[in-house]
């Protein structure tokens, strides 16, 4: 009887420990970025711009690809790193906000205000370029249902932590097509200029970027697991084959023109023999 009672106590303790472990699971459980490639964000959702004016999200689409940055403006640490990474990655590019693409930041904190959005926009657009101003930089705030609709569409999952009074969230940005389709994910707080440029050119379907960018897209492959572009052997072989064909055509044209000039210089009687 005593042995049976001991087993019962151990079983109960084991159950309590299991329950305790479940309750004290990682605070990051359910937090992260789920790739929803080819998902369409709800462009009809209404947010407020930096002046407090209600605007549909679709206002910032249809013309250029969009760099979507989910942050909140009163974030004490991580969000500022994300924005600093965006600025550092964009600065070396020939592509420019407002001309080639737009930057749309949506705060996932419904308590953020348009004044917070304006302050954040001015800070980071100024760090990017004092001369360029705020053209192409859009920082939005909104109500919780609209925020969730967009964040769920792009797979950005976060949670409010009442203990620290902060949001627990991952870090990353998304590249969307002009139609509002999710095309690329870039992770972390540092974004390689190459990855940003190729993602934007890719999402624009070749409407922006130089000839060099278009060629590089043949050489580089987007890896969804890392959110980066990596060189591919097949792509390099394709470029080598194209260059070889172009070199052969150029050589043929050179020889043909040389023969024509040489023939034209020969005396008339030699040409008619």
Question: Quick check: 142 pLDDT over 70?
Answer: yes
Q: Cα separation of 203 and 36, whole Å?
A: 15
Q: Which residues of 118-147 are buried (b: 16+ CB within 10 A; e: fewer)?
A: bebbeebbeebeeeeebebbbbbbbeeebb
Question: What's the CA angle centered on 12, arms 8 and 14, to 5 degrees?
Answer: 115
Q: Cα separation of 20 and 15, whole Å?
A: 9
- Mean pLDDT over 43-47 rounds to 98
- Mean pLDDT over 18-37 rounds to 69
- Looking at per-residue pLDDT, the higher value among 232 and 79 belongs to 79
- Looking at per-residue pLDDT, the higher value among 28 and 107 belongs to 107
Phi/psi region, residue 130 (left: phi>0; alpha: psi -120 to 50; beta: rest), is: alpha
| Domain map (residue ranges) of the chain | 32-209, 234-272
Cβ 55 vs Cβ 140: under 8 Å: yes
The pair of structure tokens assigned to 40 is 């369409």
Question: Quick check: 63 pLDDT over 60?
Answer: yes
- Read off φ and ψ for residue 193, nearest 5 degrees: -55, -40
Q: Cα separation of 234 and 109, whole Å?
A: 45
Question: Quick check: 115 pLDDT over 60?
Answer: yes
Q: Cα separation of 273 and 270, whole Å?
A: 5
Question: Quick check: 223 pLDDT over 60?
Answer: yes
- Mean pLDDT over 51-75 rounds to 97
Mapped onto helix, strand or coil, the DSSP state of residue 40 is strand
pTM of the model: 0.76
Question: Quick check: 16 pLDDT over 50?
Answer: no
pLDDT, tens digit, 9 for 90 and up, residues 146-178: 999 999 999 999 999 999 999 999 999 999 999
Instruction: Quickly state the pLDDT bin for 234 (edges 50, 70, 90).
Output: very low
Question: Quick check: 13 pLDDT over 50?
Answer: no
Average of per-residue pLDDT values in the chain: 83
User: What is the pLDDT, as a whole number, of residue 5?
Assistant: 39
Task: Place domain 32-209 in its CATH homologous superfamily.
Answer: Glutaredoxin (3.40.30.10)
């Amino acid at each position: 009887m005593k042995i049976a009672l001991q087993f019962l106590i151990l079983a109960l303790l084991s159950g309590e420990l299991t329950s305790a472990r479940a309750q004290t699971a990682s605070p990051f459980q359910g937090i992260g970025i789920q790739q929803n490639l080819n998902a369409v964000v709800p462009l009809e959702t209404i947010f407020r711009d930096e002046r407090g004016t209600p605007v549909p999200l679709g206002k910032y689409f249809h013309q250029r690809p969009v760099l979507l940055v989910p942050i909140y403006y009163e974030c004490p640490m991580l969000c500022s790193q994300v924005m600093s990474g965006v600025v550092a990655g964009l600065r070396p590019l020939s592509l420019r906000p407002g001309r080639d693409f737009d930057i749309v930041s949506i705060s996932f904190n419904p308590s953020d205000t348009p004044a917070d959005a304006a302050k954040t926009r001015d800070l980071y657009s100024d760090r990017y370029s004092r001369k360029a101003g705020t053209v192409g930089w859009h920082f939005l705030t909104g109500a919780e249902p609209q925020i969730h609709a967009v964040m769920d569409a792009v797979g950005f999952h976060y949670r409010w932590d009442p203990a620290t009074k902060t949001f627990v969230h991952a870090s990353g940005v998304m590249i969307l097509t002009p139609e509002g389709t999710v095309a690329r994910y870039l992770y972390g707080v540092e974004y390689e200029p190459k990855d940003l440029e190729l993602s934007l050119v890719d999402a624009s379907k070749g409407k922006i970027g130089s000839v060099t960018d278009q060629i590089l897209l043949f050489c580089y492959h987007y890896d969804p697991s890392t959110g980066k572009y990596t060189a591919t052997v097949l792509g390099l072989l394709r470029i080598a084959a194209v260059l070889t064909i172009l070199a052969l055509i150029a050589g043929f044209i050179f020889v043909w023109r040389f023969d024509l000039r040489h023939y034209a210089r020969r005396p008339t009687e030699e040409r008619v023999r």
